[in-house]
Amino acid sequence: MRKTAMLIVVIGVGAQIALAQNKPPATLDIYFIDTEGGQATLFVTPGGETLLFDTGTGGDNNRDADRITAIVKDVAVEQQLDQVIVSHYHGDHVGNAAELSRRFPIRHFWDHGGWTVEGQTNRRAAFDTYMSIRGTANVTVPKPGAKIPIAGLEVTFISSAGEVITGPVAGLPGAGEPNPLCRDFMPRVQDATPENAVTLGAMIRYGNFRMLDLSDLVWNNEKALVCPRNLLGTVDVYHTSRHGTDLAGSPAMVHAIHPRVAIMNNGAMKGGTKGTFEIVRSSPGFQDFWQLHYSEAVSKEINSPEAFIATMESAPGHKGYYLKLSARTDGSFTMTNERNGFTKDYPAARIAAPASR
């Protein structure tokens, strides 16, 4: 009897070891939530910490707040948001900061300061709503170069309050090298939305995996990040700036950071312009363009194949879907489209970043 019992114990331990060996490696999971041309990107670390980069558009029967809430409830181990970045005070980014703070404990906010450069009565409603909870929230205003303390993840602010980093981001391959594409940089007339120029932008790094997310930073202000030297180095994923409009994402920047994959937070009628598709797709080594929404601004041929698009519909009341990115520390990652279950694996890039800072 004792021998049998011991044998069962031994088999049990062996099975546990085998299970541990077969366990998939821990991933950083990133949910790009369709907020119809706003931004809400949820990061969940292998340790279970959560970071929400922007909060989507407020109102509209809590459309975006409900979409974000459903995913947080589904995937957050602790039903809370540890870190929330409010990149700037346009309604499509700050829109649900107050509403979400009523639904979940929010440990820490990051923003560019308690002021806006667009104080016009018709523009400041979303700002005022956030200010109503900001006074009692735990808020940090980061300088460019500051990092969010999250175990295993490195989130470095690249831009804040109209300033950008002045030196290369440490540890990123290619960061600090001269950028020959600057010769062809042409400034563009920017639209009258100065709040975009003070946005918080960030480089996200998980081991060798790198993603750039500059939120709505504008074309002319990006230049200092990559000219005359490319301070950003190369990345795996480019989260298109300004929802993929022609007012951000110059070739001098996009081609210098050399993304393999782009993810665009466009809406049916917002962003997703022909110029963005052309600039991103002509970047050397570029592979796939994933979209949060089918773009009505361009033809079916210019849109990515349906498998790579989260939400196809634009009729009122339609369901919104997310794209999920699961990154591993070797730099490889997997993309998944919630709507159709389509997945694609991307192996680690050949240019590896140093293993540690």
**How far apart are the C-alpha atoms of 40 and 142, rounded to whole Å?**
20
User: HSE (CB half, 13 Å, CA atoms) of 113?
Assistant: 11
Closest Cα to residue 46, out of 203, 148, 151, 155? Answer: 151
Least Å from the CB of residue 193 to Zn ion: 9
Binding region for Zn ion (CB under 5 A): 92, 216
Contact of 248 with 218, CB cutoff 8 Å = yes
Q: How far is the CB of 288 from Zn ion (least distance, A)?
A: 23
Task: Give whichever of 32 and 333 is closer to Zn ion, judged by the CB atom.
Answer: 32
82/216 with CB nearer Zn ion:
216
Q: Residue 64 or residue 92: which is nearer to Zn ion going by CB?
A: 92
**Which CB atom, from 35 or from 337, has the smaller least distance to Zn ion?**
35
- Taking alpha carbons only, the member of 183, 158, 182, 181 closest to residue 170 is 158
Query: What is d(CA 323, CA 257) in angstroms, rounded to the nearest whole number?
Result: 22
Rounded to a whole number of angstroms, the minimum distance from the CB of residue 157 to Zn ion is: 18
Q: Taking every pair of C-alpha atoms in the chain, what is the biggest distance, in angstroms? A: 84
Nearer to Zn ion, 92 or 213 (CB): 92
Q: Least distance from C-beta 90 to Zn ion, angstroms? A: 5
Rounded CA separation 264/290 (Å): 6
Contact (Cβ atoms closer than 8 angstroms) between residue 322 and residue 71: yes
- Residue by residue, DSSP assigns 281-322 as HTSTT--EEEEEE--TTS-TTTSPPGGGEEE---STT----E
CA dihedral 236, 241, 247, 251 (to 10 degrees): -10
Q: How far is the CB of 338 from Zn ion (least distance, A)?
A: 22
Residue with Cβ nearer Zn ion (37 or 259): 37
Helix H or strand E segment including 100: helix 97-103
Minimum CB distance to Zn ion smaller for 179 or for 199: 199
CB of 216 to Zn ion, least distance (A): 4
User: Which of 34, 82 has the CB closer to Zn ion?
Assistant: 34
245 or 304: whose CB is closer to Zn ion? 245
Residue type, 95: G
Report the distance separating Cα 323 and Cα 308, nearest Å: 9
- Alpha-carbon Rg for the chain in angstroms: 21
To the nearest whole angstrom, how small is the minimum distance from the Cβ of residue 56 to Zn ion?
10
For 330, the token pair is 């070797």
Q: How far is the CB of 243 from Zn ion (least distance, A)?
A: 6
238 burial level (CB within 10 Å; 0-12, 13-18, 19+): buried
Q: How far is the CB of 39 from Zn ion (least distance, A)?
A: 6
